């Protein structure tokens, strides 16, 4: 089983969107027994809080639920537990490497590296634009799933 952890700053917008979009794609592909997905934060600011309401609404627009999800912080042992740790932006990646004690096994990657437009996932916390975030997350998850199907499954 391949275990994926999506990570952003607070775990209330981008990373839970990625978690639930990926879970939906995995389910649709019939791969739920082969791919496990979670999400986490690099900060402690939102620990225990649910997915941010506009992020929940954007997922719901696409028929994807996220009930029960609450923010949690990335832990050092997550590096051992997960095969891939996917960050949403350069600050996330920097903090992930620091919190995990480095990246000797090359498990930490940028979400947009799985797309044809590398860069950072739009942060709706600052822009208020959840459509751009949806587009980035959807493209990143689709690209990641395609790569996993080609390489690992």
Structure tokens that stand for 82 in this block: 């997960």
Query: What CA–CA distance (Å, rounded) separates 101 from 90?
Result: 17
Q: What is the pLDDT of residue 151?
A: 87
**pLDDT for residue 153 is more than 90:** no
Structure tokens that stand for 26 in this block: 């995995």
Domain hosting residue 9, numbered range: 2-151
43 CA to centre of own chain = 15
- Which residue, 87, 41, 48, is CA-closest to 68? 48
The region that residue 43 occupies, defined by phi over 0 for left and psi between -120 and 50 for alpha, beta otherwise, is beta
**pLDDT for residue 5 is more than 70:** yes
For β-strands 108-110 and 2-8, DSSP reports them as unpaired
Look up the CATH number of the domain holding residue 61: 3.40.50.2300
Categorize the per-residue pLDDT at 118 as very low, low, confident or very high, splitting at 50, 70 and 90: confident
What 3-state DSSP class applies to 126?
helix
Tell me which residues are annotated as active site.
8, 14, 123
What would the pLDDT profile of 50-104 be if each residue is shown by its tens digit? 999 999 999 999 999 999 999 999 999 999 999 999 999 999 999 999 999 999 9
Q: What is the pLDDT of residue 120?
A: 96
Query: How many independent structural domains does the chain possess?
Result: 1
- Which residue, 2, 100, 1, 88, is CA-closest to 39? 88
The region that residue 34 occupies, defined by phi over 0 for left and psi between -120 and 50 for alpha, beta otherwise, is alpha
The whole model's pTM is what? 0.97
The count of residues in the chain is 153
């Amino acid at each position: 089983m391949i275990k994926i952890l999506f990570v952003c700053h607070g775990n209330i917008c981008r990373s839970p969107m990625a978690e639930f979009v990926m879970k939906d794609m995995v389910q649709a592909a019939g791969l739920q027994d082969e791919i496990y997905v979670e999400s986490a934060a690099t900060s402690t600011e939102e620990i225990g809080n649910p997915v941010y309401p506009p992020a929940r609404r954007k997922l719901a627009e696409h028929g994807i639920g996220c009930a029960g999800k609450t923010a949690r912080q990335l832990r050092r042992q997550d590096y051992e537990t997960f095969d891939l740790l996917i960050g949403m932006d350069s600050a996330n990646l920097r903090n992930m490497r620091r919190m995990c004690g480095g990246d000797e096994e090359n498990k930490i990657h940028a979400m947009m590296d799985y797309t044809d437009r590398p860069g950072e996932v739009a942060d709706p916390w600052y822009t208020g634009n959840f459509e751009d975030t949806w587009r980035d997350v959807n493209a990143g998850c689709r690209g990641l799933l395609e790569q996993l199907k080609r390489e690992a499954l």
